[in-house]
Amino acid sequence: MTPEILNTFGLCLNIVGVVLIFFFGLPQPSHDEEVSLGVGEGTVFADGRTAKSMMDEVRRRKKRYQRRAFLALTLMLLGFLFQLVSIWFLKLLDVWQNCILSLF
């Protein structure tokens, strides 16, 4: 793989990660999971949903957002690593070749 391909691949991973972060954000310290203090889990609302089902939905959404934000951060880190490798790839290859040649 050439440095240009590694660099391009790293940039693409970074862009995908940034787009995911834009939509799903970074994990926040607190997400409200309760509907209200005065509403019990068995309370049924006008739309037919219970307070418990609404809280479960919020918990699922929170978990989904956290997973996608983690994926986005992972993609950005991988993109950075690919770019770093692409910059140093030829230099490290040259150093290794000189070390190996100096042994003979």
Long-range contacts of the stretch 35-41 (C-beta < 8 A, 24+)? none
Beta strands in the chain (DSSP E): none
**Whether pLDDT at 24 is above 70:** yes
Predicted local distance difference test score (pLDDT) of residue 32:
63
Q: Is the pTM of this model over 0.85?
A: no
pLDDT tens digits for range 31-71:
566 555 567 777 888 888 888 888 899 899 989 988 999 99
* pLDDT more than 90, % of the chain: 29
